Amino acid sequence: MKSLPFIGLLLIVLGIAGLAINGISFTEHKTVVDAGPLKVTADQEKTVPIPTYASVAAIVAGIGLAVIGFSRRRA
């Protein structure tokens, strides 16, 4: 049961980070044409949004786990 407070605090931090960051962006390199010695590539930037409700749910779950973990530690 010592890991519950740690997991709870980790979820709280990840939830706050999810609220602060709107989404994760990355660049994908695609080969468009590959014909013998001719190779044409294209870079495409993609963004994966982080839903607000997922961040809030992570914070609430983290608080719950931290409270349960710290209260069981005292008993």
Q: Output the CA torsion sign for 44, 50, 51, 52.
A: negative
Cα 43 to Cα 2, 53, 75, distances in angstroms: 46, 31, 57
Question: DSSP class of residue 22?
Answer: -
The strand ranges marked E within the chain are 23-35, 38-49
Residue-level pLDDT, tens digit, the chain, 75 residues: 578 889 999 999 999 999 999 889 999 999 888 888 888 999 999 999 999 999 999 999 999 999 998 888 776
* Residue closest to 3 by CA, chosen among 66, 49, 46: 66
